[in-house]
Amino acid sequence: MIAQILLWTWQAAVCQTHIGMHGSFFIAAIGSDGIMVATDSRVSFFDWRDPKREILGYFDDMQKTVPIGKYVFASNGQGLVGSKLVPSVLSDFFLKVKPLPQLNLLLFVVTKFIKDNTDQRSYQIFASNILIAAGYEDGMPAIYALKPIENRFDSVVQFGCFEADNTVFDQRNSWRLPCKQLGQMAETAILQYAKDKKNKYIGGPIRTIQITPDRTIWLKNAPKSFWKTDKDFLLDYKAGKVKITFTSPQNKERWQKLMALDHPDLFK
């Protein structure tokens, strides 16, 4: 069963095979007044050829929770499908696929859409991660999880919780509590987990969102930026609108050299 504890890492190539993105943590729980989804916002960069996945730098304001229509989609981190950021791919899906499938089928249809519209390597990277979809189905709150590459599927309906790993978050009593309180608990749990595990891949503002039968509401740290592609993100970096924290001057130089291989028009 993956309904109680989900452990995985989001990894995605930036355009080719040189720079990768390494992602983080989420908690999703059904509460007394809706569904709460919390994610951190850090994305870390690494060299795909490095077996140790040393962090070259990180950015602390990446969107990982995507409300589209009456559903919310989330994953354990942020990545790319080809050169497109995952939220952009999902936006394409919801614009092109009409009518939307039922919630219990949504992740399967999303996965097929991505498989049919990208190259095999990009899909395999995407399919190695677990995807989350949450919303209301027949009037009941539900959260579904799918790991496409292993065909692992699970769900919680009416009450329950998914976590990326064991934390201090109180799963047993979450269904008794309102989403705002669950969001505060999830934020504490994620940050405490990162501290206890000395996990540098987890960080940045914790975003929390509430899903009700009628709408979705950002409870804390709603995203301010939306990039369609990795190039859009890099253009903002070059313009000074995005701050990447590098782990050392040497790693900044390594990152720039790798980016020059993927985007020679931006990094000469």
Between 1 and 27, whose confidence is greater?
Answer: 27
In this predicted structure, the answer to whether residue 186 has a pLDDT above a threshold of 90 is yes
In a domain, 1, yes or no: no
- Three-state secondary structure string covering 134-147: EEEECCEEEEEEEE
pLDDT for res 82: 77
Instruction: Give 109's contacts (C-beta < 8 A, 6+ positions apart).
Output: 97, 101
232-243 in b/e form (b: 16+ CB < 10 A) is bbbeeeeeeebe
Question: Average pLDDT of 124-152?
Answer: 89
4 and 163 Cβ atoms separated by less than 8 Å = yes
The H-assigned helical ranges of 10-159 are: 86-96, 103-116, 120-127
What is the pLDDT at residue 120?
87
- Residue 228 belongs to a domain with what CATH number? 3.60.20.10
Q: Please answer whether residues 81 and 118 qualify as being in contact, where contact means their C-beta atoms are separated by less than 8 angstroms.
A: yes
Q: Answer yes or no: is 268 within a domain.
A: no
CA gap 250, 204 in Å, rounded: 23
- Domain presence at residue 6: no
Answer yes or no: is 5 within a domain: no
Q: What single letter denotes the amino acid at residue 70? A: K
Strands (E), the chain: 11-13, 19-22, 26-31, 34-39, 43-47, 57-59, 65-68, 71-75, 80-81, 84-85, 131-137, 140-147, 152-157, 161-163, 207-211, 216-220, 245-246
* 142 within domain boundaries: yes
**pLDDT tens digits along 192-241:** 999 998 888 899 999 999 999 999 999 999 998 889 888 899 999 999 99
Residue 4 falls within a domain, yes or no?
A: no
Angle, vertex CA 74, rays to CA 70 and CA 76, nearest 5 = 175
Q: Residues with Cβ < 8 Å from 186, sequence gap 6 or more?
A: 27, 29, 36, 38, 169, 206, 208
Token digits of residue 172: 């047993």
Query: How many domains does one find in the chain?
Result: 1
Confirm whether 89 is domain-assigned.
yes
Kindly tell me the sign of the dihedral angle through the C-alpha atoms of 102, 143, 204, 202: negative
Which is more confident, 125 or 263?
263
In 3D space, the residue among 262, 207, 241, 167 whose CA is nearest the CA of residue 62 turns out to be: 207
End-to-end CA distance of the chain: 49
Please indicate, yes or no, whether the overall pTM of this predicted structure exceeds 0.85: yes
The percent of residues above 70 in pLDDT, for the chain, comes to 92
255 is a domain residue: yes
Residue 79 domain boundaries: 11-262
Amino acid 78: pLDDT: 58
